[in-house]
């Protein structure tokens, strides 16, 4: 008799084992010769070595399936136990960008969002410029998570200029991170839709996902990353040039912005407008303009954008 302990620190036991350990009970039925004990973040397996190896193989497929689809059911486990299951573990519809929490399907939903997805596959740097609610940030984060899950990149870097939109950064309580986190909230919100809480926390703690203000990018070379600069309309020309020139080997850069919502001081010009103008004909860089037809929020948002455009 042998025993082996498996760790699930990056996963929620409830999500993985199911309500009332339903999923775990299926595993026990499939491997009846094993004694399987789940406690907290660890699973102890006791039995003969061939049976323990069979559990390890099945458990590995379960984690891969859960990472890809955001959920796992009793039927999924039974299918994974069948011969050849490793070949179909992560197959999904080609228009699905990523499976979010609880299996939520996240895909491009408008014509220009589809253009963005097609463009990032052909180009290493993509600009998505358009009004609020057109899914720029959300699509960018979904593409980044997909690239990470598919092991096309090793890390995700999400950054924003820490520009005050009518508020005063200094009055906020706490240390520097506490002051900056509210500015990064849309990025956290998108990530929470796409990754389980414990997995997201693990990625942030080990640096697989980094969320930082634009100023923290200076002097770095970003290799094997999917980097997103959000709210780029609030970066000056020098700041945007600094970010774009951080690009290293095997990197994808995605820049989003809304030129109708520039919060820079009046004496400073937006670097996004300048960059879109001078980089439009550079091979490997694509600039996609979104409009009110791409708005995915409440139907009134499109009408609000049109009203402001008319004014």
pLDDT of 168:
47
Helices 136-149/111-122 angle, 10° precision: 40
Q: Which CATH class is domain 2-87?
A: alpha beta
CA angle 142, 144, 149 (to 5 degrees): 95
CA pair distance 41, 283, nearest whole angstrom:
48
pLDDT of 222:
95
H or E stretch at 227: strand 225-229
- Write down the CATH superfamily of domain 96-310: P-loop containing nucleotide triphosphate hydrolases (3.40.50.300)
Q: Which residues of the chain have pLDDT under 50?
A: 164-168
Round to the nearest angstrom and report the end-to-end CA distance of the chain: 78
- Do residues 157 and 225 touch, judged by C-beta distance below 8 A? yes
Q: Residue 111, Cβ neighbours under 10 Å: how many?
A: 11
Alpha helices, DSSP H, located in the chain: 13-17, 22-30, 49-69, 74-80, 111-122, 136-149, 176-194, 197-206, 237-244, 271-278, 299-310
pTM of the model: 0.75
> Token pair of 307, please?
């009203």
pLDDT of 65:
82
CA pair distance 211, 17, nearest whole angstrom:
31
**How many contiguous H segments (helices) and E segments (strands) does the chain have?**
11, 11
pLDDT of 176:
55
CA pair distance 175, 217, nearest whole angstrom:
19
pLDDT of 237:
92
160: DSSP letter: E
pLDDT of 297:
65
Evaluate the CA torsion angle 32, 34, 37, 41 in order and state its sign.
negative
In this structure, the strands spanning 42-47 and 35-39 are antiparallel
User: Which residues of the chain form CATH 3.30.1370.10?
Assistant: 2-87
Q: Which residue, 298, 144, 306, 292, is CA-closest to 230?
A: 144
pLDDT of 87:
57
pLDDT of 180:
65
pLDDT of 90:
57
User: Which residues of the chain form CATH 3.40.50.300?
Assistant: 96-310
């Amino acid at each position: 008799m042998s025993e082996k302990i498996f760790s699930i620190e990056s996963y929620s036991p409830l999500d993985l084992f199911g309500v009332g350990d339903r999923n775990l009970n299926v595993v026990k039925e499939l491997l009846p010769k094993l004694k399987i004990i789940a406690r907290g973040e660890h699973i102890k397996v006791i039995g003969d070595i061939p049976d323990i190896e069979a559990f390890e193989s099945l458990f590995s497929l379960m984690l891969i399936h859960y990472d890809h689809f955001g959920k796992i059911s009793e039927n999924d486990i039974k299918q994974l136990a069948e011969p050849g299951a490793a070949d179909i573990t992560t197959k999904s519809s080609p228009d699905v960008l990523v499976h979010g929490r609880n299996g939520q399907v996240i895909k491009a939903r408008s014509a220009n969002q589809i253009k963005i997805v097609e463009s990032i596959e052909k180009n290493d740097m993509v600009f998505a410029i358009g009004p609020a609610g057109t899914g720029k940030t959300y699509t960018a984060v979904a593409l980044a998570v997909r690239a990470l899950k598919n092991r096309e990149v090793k890390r995700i870097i999400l950054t924003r200029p820490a520009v005050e939109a009518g508020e005063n950064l200094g009055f906020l309580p706490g240390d520097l991170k506490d002051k900056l986190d509210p500015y990064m909230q849309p990025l956290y919100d998108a990530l929470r839709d796409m990754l389980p809480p414990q997995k997201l926390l693990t990625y942030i703690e080990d640096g697989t996902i980094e969320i930082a203000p634009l100023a923290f990018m200076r002097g770095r070379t970003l290799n094997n990353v999917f980097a997103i600069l959000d709210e780029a309309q609030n970066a000056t020309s020098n700041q945007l040039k600094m970010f774009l020139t951080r690009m290293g080997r095997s990197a994808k850069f995605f820049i989003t912005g809304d030129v109708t919502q520039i919060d820079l001081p009046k004496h400073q010009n937006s670097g996004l407008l300048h960059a879109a103008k001078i980089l439009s004909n550079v091979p490997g860089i694509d600039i996609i303009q979104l409009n009110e037809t791409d708005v995915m929020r409440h139907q009134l948002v499109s009408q609000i954008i049109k009203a402001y455009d008319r004014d």
